[in-house]
């Protein structure tokens, strides 16, 4: 609903209508001013409606000045730490962006769980820093893989929510089918210095490729200069390829004693013997 300022009505209606009616030029001027002010107000409302902030996905850079946190601290605060793959999302969208709903994630490797899990429902609502929405794959795409840190939803014990400082880190598949945390890390501001564990890698994962047009130019050039990305010609044309990562076998050690369930039965997936 458009709310007009009081000054708008003051101009539209005069306290001396008779004097205005005796002066056609003054009446015409007021009408022109009325139309101009109405156009300005309506345009302002339209601009505000179009500036709905785009929601962040788990792979996006965290908000500026976010406090950093270690992997061990994340794991200690989480009820679930697991390698998962996005299956599908049941989101409500506004202007093509999710604003509430659930993602359904398939558990590949459970590190810390509060119950046996095969699938996880992760609920999110609203737009806020470190929100936990996952990109929905198309029918022809496989879902992205993530290392997730989740807590049980206090409003529904069957589903989970992301942690306030973030919920997911991108994971890629190497050429030998091993899993690796993609570098540079985005989505959560980590205090761990993962450069000490970084190794050159050749990924066999479609999400190891980025389109130049879709990346922020400043970030793209910085990552190219630091060696996180390289340009390469593919069947799709010139693309950016991620070059480094940290194997999840090493990341597991950084999760700390509270980041891995000691009860093997609790971690076991339902279909395992």
Mean pLDDT, the chain cut into blocks of 10 residues (273 residues total): 48 45 56 57 46 48 68 96 96 91 97 92 91 92 97 95 96 97 96 95 95 88 95 82 96 91 56 40
Instruction: Please answer whether residues 98 and 129 qualify as being in contact, where contact means their C-beta atoms are separated by less than 8 angstroms.
Output: no
Report domain extents, the chain.
6-49, 71-197+245-267
pLDDT of residue 219: 92
Closest CA to 101 of 93, 114, 92: 92
Give me the pLDDT at residue 178, please: 97
CATH number belonging to domain 71-197+245-267: 2.40.50
**pLDDT value, residue 48:** 44
Say which residue the tokens 């001396």 belong to.
Answer: 16
- At residue 235, the pLDDT reads 75
Instruction: Report which of 165, 160, 212, 139 is spatially closest to residue 71, judged by C-alpha positions.
Output: 165
Report the C-alpha gap between 239 and 160 in whole angstroms: 35
Which of 209, 241, 214, 213 has its CA nearest to residue 227? 241
Q: Give the burial class of 183: count Cβ atoms within 10 A of its Cβ; 0-12 exposed, 13-18 middle, 19 or more buried.
A: buried
């Amino acid at each position: 609903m458009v709310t007009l300022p009081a000054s708008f009505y003051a101009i539209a209606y005069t306290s001396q209508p008779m004097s205005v009616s005796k002066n056609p030029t003054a009446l015409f001027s007021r009408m022109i001013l009325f139309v101009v002010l109405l156009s300005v107000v309506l345009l302002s409302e339209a601009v505000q409606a179009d500036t709905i902030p785009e929601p962040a996905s788990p792979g996006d850079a965290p908000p500026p000045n976010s406090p950093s946190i270690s992997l061990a601290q994340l794991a200690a605060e989480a009820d679930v730490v697991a390698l998962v793959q996005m299956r599908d999302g049941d989101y409500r969208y506004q202007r093509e962006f999710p604003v509430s709903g659930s993602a359904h994630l398939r558990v590949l490797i459970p590190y810390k769980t509060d119950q046996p899990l095969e699938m996880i429902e992760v609920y999110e609502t609203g737009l806020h820093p470190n929100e936990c929405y996952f990109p929905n794959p198309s029918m022809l795409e496989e879902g992205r893989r993530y290392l997730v840190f989740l807590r049980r939803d206090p409003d529904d014990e069957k589903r989970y929510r992301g942690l306030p400082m973030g919920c997911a880190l991108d994971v890629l598949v190497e050429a030998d089918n091993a899993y690796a945390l993609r570098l540079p890390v985005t989505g959560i501001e980590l205090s761990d210095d993962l450069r000490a564990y970084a190794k050159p890698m050749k990924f066999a994962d479609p999400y190891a490729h980025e389109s130049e047009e879709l990346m922020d130019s400043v970030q793209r050039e910085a990552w190219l200069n630091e060696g996180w990305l390289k340009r390469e010609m593919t069947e799709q044309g010139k693309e950016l390829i991620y070059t480094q990562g940290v194997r999840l076998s090493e990341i597991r050690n950084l999760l700390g004693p509270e980041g891995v369930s000691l009860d093997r039965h609790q971690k076991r997936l339902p279909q395992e013997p």
